[in-house]
Amino acid sequence: MPENFTPVSVQQIEELLKWTLSENKTLTVKGRGGKTGFGHLMETDCTVSLEKLSGILNYDPAELVMQALPGTPLDEIEAALSANNQHLAFEPMRLGQLYNTHAESGSIGGTFMANLSGPRRFKAGAARDHILGIKAVNGRGQAYQSGGMVIKNVTGYDMSKLLTGSWGTLSIITEVIFKVLPAPQTSQSLCVLNQQPEAALALMTKLAQSPHDISGLAYLPGDLSKHYLHYDGIDDDTSLTMIRLEGSVLSVAERLKSVMRLIPHKWRTETMQQEASQQLWTSIRDVSVFTIFGNTPVIMKLSIPPAAATAITDFIKASAGVHWYMDAAGGWLWISMPEVLATTLIPGIRQKVAMHGGSAVLYSAIEKIKKTVGIFSPQPAALVALNKRIKESFDPGNILNPGRLGLV
Amino acid sequence: MPKPDPAIIAGRQALIHALQRLVSDEQLITDQSSLRVYETDGLSAYRQLPMLVVLPDSTQQVAEILKICSEMHTKVVPRGAGTSLSGGALPLEDGIVLGLGKFNKILDIDYDNRCVVVQSGVTNLAITDAVKQRGFYYAPDPSSQIACTIGGNVSENAGGVHCLKYGLTSNNILGLEIVLINGEILRLGGKHMDMEAYDLLGIITGSEGLLGVVTEVTVRILPDPETVRAMLLGFPSNETAAVCVGEIISQGIIPAGIEMMDKLAIEATEDFCQAGYPLDCESLLIVELDGPAAEVNQLIEQVSSIATECHATSIKVSQTEAERIRFWTGRKAAFPAIGRISPDYYCMDGTIPRKQLPHVLARMAEMSKIYGLRIANVFHAGDGNLHPLILYDANNPGELEQAEAFGTDILRLCVEVGGVLTGEHGVGIEKRDLMSEVFSEQDLQQQLRVKCAFDPDGYLNPGKVFPTLHRCAELGKLHVHHGKLAFPDIPRF
């Protein structure tokens, strides 16, 4: 009996799922396998990979819409867009390095199933904000579609959004349609040196409230920044507050002046070199800034009201071996911690997050830790039950990525 | 609509007694003349008196009312301001209307977190009004923003003239409090960006009141752009204007809004409110650009030269804020202006791929001749979201039916060119029976199964969106034969 399936058509996926359901088997669903480290370890009977359902089906730059098969490599999508001066505005992160999956870019299907985004999140949204339509096969082996090729559409429920971020637990997608946008002509970053977290957060807040259309606001404490510092006369443990502006050359130059006026003179501010800033934003996006500590097995991502960021960093700063940085103007905190602390620290962090409202997702850990604390924060019973009913409405036999999210 | 259940109607008095224990007399409307206020919404061709109207003033009350209704098998139609253009708030003879008018408080304005928490009956414009003195605004701006509620905006995923650049309601909300039909109160998201587990914010937004009752909304607010200027571009034909829209976007420009008006709309509007529109053109584009002053000036130059290449007959750029607002006054008054030149009009809402604009506008003009009904076009050209207004006179026998048939043909045309039935007004009852033009039975069944996860007995807003109702038990069945599911072959590939 085959254990690995690589379907080449929707019909094969329908057949596979009907068979899986009738035989009481279970499936691990992956695009190109770039994000298999997310969620609980699954022990399923078979694996289905969508790598052969690959290719761009429809791309007309003037329509700002692209239609692609789910297994299309994200790199291929981004290259096609780039050739037309367009991009995915939600700046999807790459998880290849975090999950050690040969640094591969993953697939466009996986990008949506994981609802990826990047530093531009607070301005441009996440994958969920760019999905327009989807074709999929549910856990009964029935193909269905939702949405379409147009930017504005309220015809029926927004199933595409519900599937986005579902990590392959609701359906196997067979096509995605998404919005694309003109890429900025240029990008310019500033860094403010040596701010304490409170001062950095205050500055990021002020800038996010400004009309200068800033597309990146991140803060790296001194323990993380040293690899990226190339300025004379500063210490190794100097923190970096990063500010990114994107747009036309003229617009960026104008806004840069306006932004400089908002930064109090007492802070030393440097304009970053193109290449260095590019590299740093990529590291922030992909959570690879933690790699300077070598093996950092436990990583979580908090999405919080930005004003709560320092309350949470204050809470974790006393723990040895814990590192963190802020992205998305303080709306995100990425935290890495040693395994020995995880099972006590994570519930504490989640309690703190719950006080302010927010989410705290475990991105990386050994299964033992994942089992103890869960991938997601504990949720109220009514919400747990609703998530379970939604899962059943797509996948009554619980055959698709069973247990991956710990929701059922 | 679903056939009214006489047993439910007969139990009206018992329902009133049960509700009287929960709410004050002033919150319960039962007499015929007062119920009349609620008999229709923005789709006024359809009318129906509800059994009664209840106006809760707290989430707890909503929860208790829903619980009672589900225990007494009574249908519930949630209602915000009743501005739906698709009949989303049309009452049912054997159902109650749950009016959210008392949910009118702004609960928290939080500039540090760039969000506002409001009760669901707060109007769209009231949010912007509450934060504008600090230089912020709430981006989605449907034409009815002065009256429509944010809860209704969530239920319909409302758009407006700025969604090309700033997105729809679903892209601008962070959190919701909803009440399920069984009385459970759920808080989803909050002041943060990413929610855990399934994207319930995403599925509830645009669900037309069929999944839960929205009682509180947390919206994202944005800082006002430094400079905003609008341009009026006149064209010799609808086709040339449509080509220009595509050219602007092809050159990497995303204006804050691109609106289009055809000759009939321009003339009616200019006559009505003197917005300064050129009268020597067949088609008009309003292009709004925002950002830093230098960038906006540069974009105006670019758009001007694109428009010239596209044979624009006139180009006018707003020189002052007052002038910019005047440009928009015309657009925003377009519907009432059409109302002045025709006793009745029927507003459609299809979306099409932008490149199909010239073709679809030409086809609609042909259809207009065939039906003998005039048509005015005022719409969101940048999104490809059409709002053809079909002019008719309901006093002429048969004309309403003709207008509806014309509208249906337009929507079929939208679907034929790769578009959809509705861009922002919702399916409601209006387009319900056209859903099968877009979706297969299997597509609809999966949507209905999601409905069942929220409302297994179908008490919330039944008769809207879906052409046929199925029992959840039937939808949920796995067809088992001889103790086993049908046995397909092992897939061989």
Model pLDDT for residues B332-385, shown as the tens digit of each residue: 889 889 989 999 999 999 999 999 999 999 999 999 999 999 999 999 999 999
Pair (B231, B315) in one structural domain: yes
Pairing of strands B388-392, A65-68: unpaired
What mean pLDDT do residues B121-145 have?
Answer: 96
Model confidence pLDDT, tens digit, residues B295-341 = 999 999 999 999 999 999 999 999 999 999 999 999 988 988 998 99
Percent of chain B with pLDDT over 70: 98
A218 and A326 in contact (C-beta within 8 Å)? yes
Q: What is the rounded CA–CA span in Å between residue B442 and residue B13?
A: 41
Pair (B218, B121) in one structural domain: yes
Q: Does residue B107 sit at the A interface (CB-CB below 8 Å)?
A: no
Pair (A88, A12) in one structural domain: yes
Pairing of strands A46-49, A56-60: unpaired
Identify the pLDDT of residue B468. Answer: 83
Q: What is the rounded CA–CA span in Å between residue B161 and residue B167?
A: 10
Q: Which among A60, A95, A57 is positioned nearest to A76, based on CA atoms?
A: A57
Q: What is the rounded CA–CA span in Å between residue B46 and residue B95?
A: 16
Whether residue B469 is contained in a domain is answered as no
Pair (B214, B111) in one structural domain: yes
From residue B429, how far is each of A18, B407, B412 by CA, in Å? Answer: 35, 14, 16
Pair (A244, A309) in one structural domain: no
Residue of A nearest to B194 (CA): A303
Whether residue B271 is contained in a domain is answered as yes
Residue-wise over A292-320: b if at least 16 C-beta within 10 A, else e?
A: eeeebebbbbbbbbbbbbbebbeebeeee
For residue B301, the tally of other CB atoms under 10 A from its CB is 11
Pair (A228, A124) in one structural domain: no
Residues on chain A touching B185 (C-beta within 8 angstroms) = 382
Residue of A nearest to B134 (CA): A209
Is A379–B163 a contact, with Cβ atoms under 8 angstroms apart?
Answer: no
Whether residue A396 is contained in a domain is answered as no
Domain CATH code at residue A227: 3.30.70.3450
Model confidence pLDDT, tens digit, residues A254-312 = 999 999 999 999 999 999 888 888 999 999 999 999 987 777 689 999 999 999 999 99
Pair (B208, B237) in one structural domain: no
Burial class (CB in 10 A: 0-12, 13-18, 19+), B204: buried
At which of A285, A304, A331 does a domain end? A285
A382 and B215 in contact (C-beta within 8 Å)? no
- Cβ-based neighbours of A326, under 8 Å, separated by 6 or more: A197, A200, A201, A204, A218, A219, A309, A313, A332, A333
From residue A340, how far is each of A83, A320, A336 by CA, in Å? Answer: 47, 11, 12
Q: Does residue B166 sit at the A interface (CB-CB below 8 Å)?
A: no
CA distance A328 to chain B (A): 10
Identify the pLDDT of residue A320. Answer: 86
- Cβ-based neighbours of B328, under 8 Å, separated by 6 or more: B230, B275, B286
Domain CATH code at residue B28: 3.30.43.10
Residue of A nearest to B250 (CA): A62
Pair (B235, B330) in one structural domain: yes
Residue B180 tokens read as 């399920």
Identify the pLDDT of residue A306. Answer: 98
At which of B176, B191, B223 does a domain end? B223
Q: What is the rounded CA–CA span in Å between residue B261 and residue B387?
A: 10
Identify the pLDDT of residue B482. Answer: 60
At which of A127, A151, A182 does a domain end? A182
Q: Does residue B424 sit at the A interface (CB-CB below 8 Å)?
A: yes
Pair (B233, B219) in one structural domain: no
Is A258–B380 a contact, with Cβ atoms under 8 angstroms apart?
Answer: no
Q: Which candidate in A129, A135, A154 is best for mutational testing of the B interface (most B CBs within 10 A)?
A: A154
Domain CATH code at residue B416: 3.30.70.2740
Whether residue A96 is contained in a domain is answered as yes
Pair (A160, A29) in one structural domain: yes
Residues of chain A with pLDDT under 50: 1
| Alpha carbon B62 to chain centroid, angstroms | 24
Whether residue B164 is contained in a domain is answered as yes
* Average pLDDT value for chain B: 94
A159 and A35 in contact (C-beta within 8 Å)? no
Pair (A304, A226) in one structural domain: no
Pair (A247, A321) in one structural domain: no
Model confidence pLDDT, tens digit, residues A316-330 = 987 889 999 999 999
Pair (B58, B141) in one structural domain: no
Pair (B44, B23) in one structural domain: yes
Q: Which amino acid is at A59?
A: Y
Percent of chain B with pLDDT over 90: 90
Residues on chain B touching A328 (C-beta within 8 angstroms) = 193
CA distance B25 to chain A (A): 32
Residue A371 tokens read as 């089992």
The boundaries of the domain holding residue B43 are 6-99
What mean pLDDT do residues B51-56 have?
Answer: 98
Is B488–A164 a contact, with Cβ atoms under 8 angstroms apart?
Answer: no
Residues on chain B touching A209 (C-beta within 8 angstroms) = 111, 114, 136, 223
Report whether pLDDT(B487) > 60: no
CA distance B192 to chain A (A): 5
Whether residue A391 is contained in a domain is answered as no
Number of structural domains in chain A: 3
Residue B445 gets which letter from DSSP? H
Residue A5 tokens read as 């399936």
Within the 332-371 window of chain A, which residues sit less than 8 Å (CB to CB) from chain B? Answer: 332, 356-361
Beta bridge pairs of residue A246: A187
Longest dimension (CA), chain B: 78
Whether residue A398 is contained in a domain is answered as no
Q: Does residue A381 sit at the B interface (CB-CB below 8 Å)?
A: no
Whether residue B267 is contained in a domain is answered as yes
Whether residue A395 is contained in a domain is answered as no
- Cβ-based neighbours of A298, under 8 Å, separated by 6 or more: A336, A337, A338, A339, A341, A342, A346, A362, A364, A365, A369
Pair (B183, B209) in one structural domain: yes
At which of B99, B127, B151 does a domain end? B99
Pair (A190, A140) in one structural domain: no
Q: Which among B146, B110, B104 is positioned nearest to B125, based on CA atoms?
A: B146
Residue of B nearest to A155 (CA): B422
Q: What is the rounded CA–CA span in Å between residue A361 and residue B239?
A: 50
B259 and B214 in contact (C-beta within 8 Å)? no
Whether residue B253 is contained in a domain is answered as yes
Q: Which candidate in B169, B198, B379, B431 is best for mutational testing of the A interface (most A CBs within 10 A)?
A: B198
Q: Which among B474, B489, B119, B295 is positioned nearest to A2, based on CA atoms?
A: B489
Whether residue B454 is contained in a domain is answered as no
Secondary structure (3-state) at B456: coil
Whether residue B273 is contained in a domain is answered as yes
Q: Which amino acid is at A313?
A: T
Identify the pLDDT of residue B484. Answer: 64
Q: DSSP string spanning A37-82? A: TSSS----SEEEE-TTS--EEEEEGGGTEEEE-TTSBHHHHHHHHH
Facing residue for A138 by CB, picked from B355, B426, B446: B446
Whether residue A407 is contained in a domain is answered as no
Pair (A82, A168) in one structural domain: yes
B72 and B192 in contact (C-beta within 8 Å)? no
Model confidence pLDDT, tens digit, residues B385-421 = 999 999 999 999 999 999 999 999 999 999 999 999 9
Q: DSSP string spanning A80-132? A: HHHTTTEE-TT-PPP-TTTTTSTT---BHHHHHHTT---TTHHHH--GGGTEE
Residue B227 tokens read as 């400079």
At which of A182, A210, A239 does a domain end? A182
Pair (A211, A152) in one structural domain: no
Identify the pLDDT of residue B383. Answer: 92
Residue B420 tokens read as 């959809």
Domain CATH code at residue A355: 3.30.70.120
Q: Which among B21, B23, B25, B44 is positioned nearest to B34, based on CA atoms?
A: B25
Pair (B21, B86) in one structural domain: yes
Whether residue A387 is contained in a domain is answered as no
Residue A114 tokens read as 């994981």
Q: Does residue B468 sit at the A interface (CB-CB below 8 Å)?
A: no
From residue A118, how far is each of A218, A244, B364 by CA, in Å? Answer: 11, 13, 43
Pairing of strands A186-193, A131-138: unpaired
Q: How many CB pairs under 8 A join A and B?
A: 293
Q: What is the rounded CA–CA span in Å between residue B185 and residue A3?
A: 43
Pair (A116, A18) in one structural domain: yes
Burial class (CB in 10 A: 0-12, 13-18, 19+), B328: middle
Q: Which among B287, B200, B298, B247 is positioned nearest to A164, based on CA atoms?
A: B200
Whether residue A404 is contained in a domain is answered as no
Pair (B219, B260) in one structural domain: no
Q: Does residue B418 sit at the A interface (CB-CB below 8 Å)?
A: yes
B249 and A60 in contact (C-beta within 8 Å)? no
Is A155–B435 a contact, with Cβ atoms under 8 angstroms apart?
Answer: yes
For residue B128, the tally of other CB atoms under 10 A from its CB is 18
Identify the pLDDT of residue A1. Answer: 47
Number of structural domains in chain B: 4
Q: What is the rounded CA–CA span in Å between residue A26 and residue A42?
A: 10
Q: What is the rounded CA–CA span in Å between residue A386 and residue A389?
A: 5
Pairing of strands A27-30, A46-49: parallel
Q: Which amino acid is at A328?
A: A
B153 and B147 in contact (C-beta within 8 Å)? no
From residue A189, how far is each of A252, B141, B145 by CA, in Å? Answer: 10, 33, 38
The boundaries of the domain holding residue A217 are 186-285
Is A250–B295 a contact, with Cβ atoms under 8 angstroms apart?
Answer: yes
Q: What ipTM was reported for this prediction?
A: 0.96
Strands (E), A92-228: 131-138, 143-147, 171-179, 181-182, 186-193, 214-220
Whether residue B405 is contained in a domain is answered as yes
Pair (A137, A210) in one structural domain: no
Q: What is the rounded CA–CA span in Å between residue B196 and residue B214?
A: 19
Pair (A257, A276) in one structural domain: yes
CA distance A272 to chain B (A): 22
Is B110–A149 a contact, with Cβ atoms under 8 angstroms apart?
Answer: no
